[in-house]
Amino acid sequence: MNKVENSFLNKTQFGEDFLWGVSTAAFQIEGAHDADGKGSSIWDVFTSQKGKIKNDHHAVTACDFYNSYQTDIDLIRELNIPNFRFSISWPRIMPTGVHPVNQAGIDYYNKIIDSLLESGIEPWITLYHWDLPHTLELKGGWTNRESVTWFSDYVAVCAHYFGDRVKNWMVINEPSVFTGAGYFLGIHAPGKKGISNYLKAMHHVTLATAKGAKVLRNAIPDANIGTTFSCTHIEPATQNAKDIEAAKRVDTLLNRTFIEPILGLGYPQKDLPVLKKLNNYILEDDLNNLDFHFDFIGLQCYTREVVKSSLLIPYIGAELVSADKRNVISTEMGWEVYPPALYHVLKKFNEYKGIKKIIITENGAAFADTVTNGKVFDIKRTHYIQDHLEQILKAKEEGLNVEGYFVWSLTDNFEWAEGYNARFGLIHVDFNTQKRTIKNSGLWFKDFLS
Ligand code: NOJ
């Protein structure tokens, strides 16, 4: 008997109030890149350039969620999933990033929100999931300090139009990833590189996170306000002092740099000296404007990283030992499958006194799924989810704070620089026909949630 039938997991073990959901993001699913007055985002521009994305994939149509949202909402209901996380495309509702508002964009999100509520599904909105309006990028994007104002005006618009029905909000998604990949390494939109772009973007995004949350709080006093961080369990490759120190620096960069200022602890400059360069961009009073008392913190964890010291890598003096070099089981993303990572990050983030509530707002795996006789037998993904849920149970049994779990993702979708080859969905998408097929993992999740 395989583990699917054999799983002892039961929803009731997590408690009645535990939140179950599924997560998506606008650019990865919507398509309709220029429909009804939408402006271009930095990702529309980046994906239109040759050589940026694997196989030159783009998201002009993606999962066509813009047109087929009702089909997908019906599927969420069919899978018994009570909470749906999606993001707003800023240039769809503000084509140039600033006023005026595009009413057609507002109407579109209203239709989604209303349809979810009619289906008994709770909407969870992410305000920024990486698709900055291109017009703002022409003015420097997140490297321009004015981005804090642009963003808070956009947040006010979302709160005004959707706040009467939407109570759950996430301000910014994974700031470490989009600033690191987009403003330092240049492998994500907008494709900028270099330490000064990166540090400016880091500081402005952090200011914008706190400011955006305050705008939401004022506009919707009873809102449940969170923001999401990518996090990874870090281990040194050996017990040599150099590797241990290197692992500490990587841990500081990946797990601490963005959350600590938000919690009122400032940037961890002592443990990652390059962050001292941030002082060039921190203006008087900024340090008083970086924190916000979030109702919840969304953690997104997929794997662990093993780190060794390396003099060749500037600023951090460390490099990751990839999963294939370690000969471990990994996903299509090349990420090691290591469920205890989730337990370790929960333990780590539980140490922060300032976190009220933790929700796992993303976890999932990409595998090369195929449809055979109308079925997708994605046993590896099913196990991945079950094994991660067991780690959450372990954490809960130890009394750690963790109050929800959202799978990434509802359907296969556009996985940024990886294009469409990395399939993360509970539901398979044939990108030629847009046909949806619920995978084995989706069927298991449905049973589990029933
Ligand atoms: C993080 C991001 O929020 C999401 O957009 C991405 O697709 C998944 N993790 C998987 O890489």
Q: What is the 3-state secondary structure (H, E, C) of 215-253?
A: HHHHHCCCCEEEEEEECCEEEECCCCHHHHHHHHHHHHH
User: Coil, helix or strand for 99?
Assistant: coil
Helix axes 65-78, 103-118, angle to 10 degrees: 10
**Arithmetic mean of pLDDT, 228-256:** 98
Q: Which pLDDT band holds residue 1 (cuts at 50, 70, 90)?
A: very low
What pLDDT score was predicted for residue 8?
85
DSSP letter assigned to residue 55: G
Query: What are the start-end ranges of the H helices in 220-372?
Result: 241-251, 259-262, 323-326, 340-350
- C-alpha 101 – ligand 1 centre gap (Å): 28
Amino acid identity at 248: K
**Mode of pairing for the β-strands spanning 435-438 and 427-430:** antiparallel
What is the spatial distance between Cα 51 and Cα 39, in angstroms, rounded to a whole number? 23
Q: Are 207 and 152 in contact (CB under 8 A)?
A: no
Task: Calculate mean pLDDT across residues 388-398.
Answer: 98
Q: What is the mean pLDDT of residues 251-275?
A: 98
Instruction: Please report, rounded to a whole number, the percentage of residues in the chain having pLDDT higher than 90.
Output: 98
Distance 28 CA to ligand 1 centre (A): 9
What confidence score (pLDDT) does residue 5 get?
A: 52
Instruction: Report the separation in Å between the CA atom of 279 and the middle of ligand 1, taken as the mean of its atom positions.
Output: 30
Write out the H or E segment, with its range, that includes residue 307: strand 304-309
Kindly give the pairing relationship between strand 19-23 and strand 83-87: parallel
User: Is the link from the previous residue into 7 a cis peptide, with omega within 30 of 0?
Assistant: no
Instruction: Please check the confidence at residue 2 and state whether its pLDDT lies above 90.
Output: no
pLDDT digits (tens, 9 = 90+) for 37-64: 999 999 999 999 999 999 999 999 999 9
Pocket test for ligand 1, best of 129, 172, 187, 415 (most atoms within 8 A of CB): 415
d(CA 273, CA 264): 19
Look at residue 433 in the predicted model and tell me its pLDDT.
Answer: 98
Atom of ligand 1 nearest to the CA of 130: 5
Which protein residue's CA is at the shortest distance from atom 11 of ligand 1? 415
Cα atoms in the 13 Å half-sphere on the side-chain side of 352: 22
300 CB less than 6 Å from ligand 1?
yes
Atom number of ligand 1 nearest to Cα 364: 10
Residue with the nearest Cα to atom 6 of ligand 1? 415
Q: What is the pLDDT of residues 181-204, one digit of tens each?
A: 999 999 999 999 999 999 999 999
Residue 305's SS3 state is strand
Average pLDDT over residues 263-284: 98
* Ligand 1 atom index nearest CA of 366: 10
Q: Is the CB of 197 under 6 A from ligand 1?
A: no
How far apart, in Å, are the Cα atoms of 228 and each of 140, 239, 345, 447? 24, 32, 14, 28
Please, what is the end-to-end C-alpha distance for the chain in angstroms? 22
CB 30 within 8 A of CB 91: no
Do the Cβ atoms of 22 and 77 come closer than 8 Å? Answer: no
Which has more confidence, 2 or 17? 17
Amino acid at 336: E
What number is the average pLDDT over the span 258-282? 98
* Cis amide bond preceding 309, omega within 30: no
Tally the C-alpha atoms within 13 A of residue 155's C-alpha that lie toward its C-beta.
28
Does residue 345 carry a pLDDT above 50? yes
Q: Closest residue (by CA) to atom 2 of ligand 1? A: 174
CA 443 to chain centre: 24
Cα–Cα distance, 298 to 301 (Å, whole number): 10
The pLDDT of residue 7: 74
What are 287's two structure tokens?
């340090």
Catalytic positions are: 362
Instruction: Kindly report whether the peptide bond that precedes residue 221 is cis, defined as omega within 30 degrees of 0.
Output: no
Radius of gyration, alpha carbons of the chain: 21
Show the beta-strand stretches assigned E in 141-292. Answer: 168-173, 224-230, 233-236
CB-based contacts of 19, cutoff 8 Å, min separation 6: 82, 83, 359, 403, 404, 405, 406
CA-nearest of 439, 410, 328 to 74 is 410
Whether the CB-CB separation of 421 and 56 falls below 8 Å is answered with no
Task: Report yes or no: 118 and 57 within 8 Å, Cβ to Cβ.
Answer: no
Helices (H), 270-339: 323-326
Nearest Cα to Cα of residue 365 among 404, 315, 293, 415? 415
Tens of pLDDT, residues 111-146:
999 999 999 999 999 999 999 999 999 999 999 999
Two tokens, residue 50 = 């040759």
Residue nearest to atom 8 of ligand 1 (CA): 408
Q: Are 174 and 228 in contact (CB under 8 A)?
A: yes
Percentage of residues in the chain with pLDDT exceeding 70?
99
Q: Is 406 in the pocket of ligand 1 (CB under 6 A)?
A: no
Q: Which distant-in-sequence residues (6+ apart) come within 8 Å of 392 by Cβ?
A: 14, 342, 343, 346, 360, 402, 405
